[in-house]
Amino acid sequence: MSKTAMGASQKDFESAVNQMKLLKKDPGNEVKLKLYAHYKQATEGPCNTPKPAVFDLINKAKWDAWNALGNLPKETARQNYVDLVSGLSSSSDSSSQVKPEADRKQAGYETLVMTSEDGITKIMLNRPTKMNALTTQMYQEIMLALEAASKDDSTITVLTGNGSYFSSGNDLTNFVISPDELEERARRGAILLRDFVGCFIDFPKPLVAVVNGPAVGISVTILRLFDLVYASDRATFHTPFSHLGQTPEACSSYTFPSLMGPAKAAEMLIFGKKLTAAEACARGLVTEVFPDSTFQKEVWTRLKAYSKLPRNALRISKQMIRNHEKEKLHAINAEESRILQERWQSDECMNAIMNFLSRKAKL
Ligand SMILES: CCCC/C=C/CC(=O)SCCNC(=O)CCNC(=O)[C@H](O)C(C)(C)COP(=O)(O)OP(=O)(O)OC[C@H]1O[C@@H](n2cnc3c(N)ncnc32)[C@H](O)[C@@H]1OP(=O)(O)O
């Protein structure tokens, strides 16, 4: 649907509203909130209802989105709504078309960029405007990408981030749900977490993290399941679980104390101390730190040289190291996921997420 000098007509708007009802694929919470806000602004004007109670998570998030539009004119909101729906319809149209094999690989991932070159498969988190915060879709796509990488003919697999962050961890809007959905969503979240971490425990080839910028939460704890961790000196490592009413995951309740000693692990995992790249390297979480100005060049030169080493020897050596603790890691992963399932339903966790969503608290 094209824009006109006058903006979208009422007819365009109504047709977009109807198109939304036919949309097959869930566009995700973020887009749904935007659509809601623009619909309300287009039909009722600026937000005019009382702010919902703090525990009414879903209505509060909707109210915030509508209220954030301020005095945006109805015509502009109508046009924005039409544009949003038009973007969604064209992407779902194109995904339903049959594509040639080569295209399908690229189109398969919406939140990642996956490339293979010089014996290296690179999985890049690609949500730079949200600091590569991990949505449910992203966890699922990372698992698919790891499975594909485990079977391709590359020697090394790399995970990195696009933009200024490696990743800001779990996307906190994953928790924007109504109270009656909470139990079921926590149950599904725990399964997703267990399966996600399980893919890293079982990954059969050398796995390298290229930590291009700050890392938060699960994007820090998962690092101990990599074989090499290269970090820019701009990167920081932050696990603010207690601040979020949550507890450690990705086996870190076991791997961090064994890596850096219980006292240093407690400082990070219980008290949320943020480490610089140099500190993380001193504690054994990072293999090597590079100046940000030469980070990409130095790291990729190093990895290209490693990727020429005998592939099977690398793979077998990695598996020999991992096999000593694989069973234990899976048991710890299951237990941590079970505990988080309970935590996600706690008032402490809900309050922390509400604070983030209402921008009272930032790390
Ligand atoms: C099923 C699996 C469960 C696994 C469990 C894992 C536990 C964890 O990972 S806990 C860690 C959770 N992460 C956080 O608590 C980080 C929250 N984010 C922040 O504190 C700040 O955004 C951050 C310090 C990372 C960056 O601050 P700024 O540089 O000031 O940028 P902005 O805050 O303006 O961020 C830009 C944009 O991105 C959105 N964002 C960033 N991180 C997240 C996140 N983790 N979840 C949701 N959204 C995130 C932020 O809201 C901004 O969005 P807009 O306002 O729409 O522009």
- Tens digits of per-residue pLDDT, 58-85? 777 788 889 888 888 888 889 888 887 8
Ligand 1, residues 31, 127, 168, 269: which to mutate, most atoms within 8 A of Cβ?
168
The per-residue pLDDT for 54 is: 62
| CA distances to 6, 75, 312, 321, 329 from 198, in Å | 54, 49, 22, 16, 9
Is the backbone of residue 4 left (phi > 0), alpha (psi -120 to 50) or beta?
A: beta
The minimum-distance atom of ligand 1 relative to the CA of 241 is: 10
Q: Cβ(158)–Cβ(36) under 8 Å?
A: no
pLDDT at 102 over 50: no
Which of 57-66, 118-127, 188-197 shows the lowest mean pLDDT across its residues?
Answer: 57-66
Q: Mind listing the pLDDT tens digit for each residue in 311-330?
A: 999 999 999 999 999 999 99
The domain made up of 112-361 is a member of CATH 3.90.226.10: yes
Segments making up each domain of the chain, as ranges: 10-90, 112-361
Between 124 and 101, the more confident residue is 124
Torsion, Cα of 164, 168, 173, 179 (10° steps): -170
Its pTM surpasses 0.80: no
Read off the pLDDT band of 90 (50, 70, 90).
low
Q: Say how far apart CA 244 and CA 272 lie, in whole Å.
A: 10
Residue 18 pLDDT exceeds 50: yes
- Residue 114 phi/psi, 5° resolution? -120, 125
Pick the CATH number of 10-90 from 3.40.920.10, 1.20.80.10, 3.10.180.10, 1.10.357.10: 1.20.80.10
Task: Give the whole-angstrom CA distance, residue 37 versus residue 271.
Answer: 37
* Ligand 1: lining residues by beta carbon, under 6 Å: 130-131, 133, 139, 168-173, 189, 192-193, 216-218, 244, 246, 249, 356, 362-363
pLDDT given at position 4: 39
Distance 132 CA to ligand 1 centre (A): 8
Distance (Å, whole) CA 260 – CA 34: 44
Half-sphere exposure of 112 (CA within 13 A, CB side): 26
Atom of ligand 1 nearest to the CA of 362: 20
Closest protein CA for atom 53 of ligand 1: 130
